[in-house]
Amino acid sequence: MELEYRLSPLVIIGGWNSSIFTPLWIGRHFENTEFLDPISSERPDEYIINIDVNLSNSFSIKNSPLKVKLKGVDVQLQETRLFFTLSEDSYDFIRLEILSSKICKYLIETPVSSYGINFGFTHKDINEEIISSIKGDKTIISKSIGSSLDCETYTFLYDIDGIKTNIGNKIDYINNIITVSFNFHFNIQNLSEFISGISENPINKMKEKAVNILSEHYNLQLEV
């Protein structure tokens, strides 16, 4: 199995103010930190902040979600969900924790309800042994059927060590890929609980828990 970092965000659900997440706000609060690059050595007090626009669900740039691309971490607000995802050139979840905690300290009064630590693992070889372990003995949630069976999706909900854990298994017969997705869900009443919670259950600890489940229950090993 490979860990797909683009499928592995930290998500905080709350009443976020979309007007806050602008290059000006980010630059003002994160200048002189490890998350911003100065434009040049001649202009050390001016920083590069890259912005992506997601037009996949809208024809309007004004109403489209913006992604702020910092060093190692991408930040995106979509309605009530604030996403923190490692960029393609970063594999350091600690950076993600540091940035998310910094932003939450600045916005400590934001009303929130929960957060989730997510991981997506893929395996590019389908065989009967893997299919059997992926299916388990649970109910099929959905099927997409054409002239033949294209895809099967299974969803499981567990309480693992007191943590609500959603595990989604997808068998993609067309592309010969199996995806196992983990969502570790935490209810919170304020951002102080998020900051303490991410410290008590850091992302790398949750990653290790997910990898152990893959190994012990699915007989799938993470490729290093």
Q: How far is CA 122 from the centre of its chain?
A: 15
Q: Would residue 221 count as lying in a domain? A: no
Q: Closest by alpha carbon to 222, among 94, 154, 123?
A: 123
Q: Would residue 191 count as lying in a domain? A: yes
> What pLDDT, on a 0 to 100 scale, did the predictor assign at position 36?
73
d(CA 157, CA 74): 28
Is 172 or 23 the better-scoring residue by pLDDT? 172
d(CA 46, CA 32): 10
- Tokens matching residue 13: 């659900």
| Predicted structure pTM score | 0.85
Q: Would residue 211 count as lying in a domain? A: no
Categorize the per-residue pLDDT at 20 as very low, low, confident or very high, splitting at 50, 70 and 90. Answer: confident
| Model confidence at 143: pLDDT above 70 | no
- pLDDT, tens digit, for every residue of 50-93? 777 766 655 655 566 778 888 888 899 888 999 999 986 678 89
- Tokens matching residue 129: 């042994």
Q: Would residue 35 count as lying in a domain? A: yes
Categorize the per-residue pLDDT at 148 as very low, low, confident or very high, splitting at 50, 70 and 90. Answer: low
- pLDDT, tens digit, for every residue of 201-219? 999 999 999 999 998 888 8
Number of domains forming the structure of the chain? 1
> What pLDDT, on a 0 to 100 scale, did the predictor assign at position 63?
60
User: What is the domain range of residue 191?
Assistant: 2-203
Q: Would residue 47 count as lying in a domain? A: yes
Q: Would residue 224 count as lying in a domain? A: no
d(CA 115, CA 76): 15
Q: Would residue 218 count as lying in a domain? A: no
Q: Would residue 149 count as lying in a domain? A: yes
Lowest mean per-residue pLDDT among 35-49, 98-112, 115-129, 137-151:
137-151
Categorize the per-residue pLDDT at 104 as very low, low, confident or very high, splitting at 50, 70 and 90. Answer: very high
Categorize the per-residue pLDDT at 108 as very low, low, confident or very high, splitting at 50, 70 and 90. Answer: very high
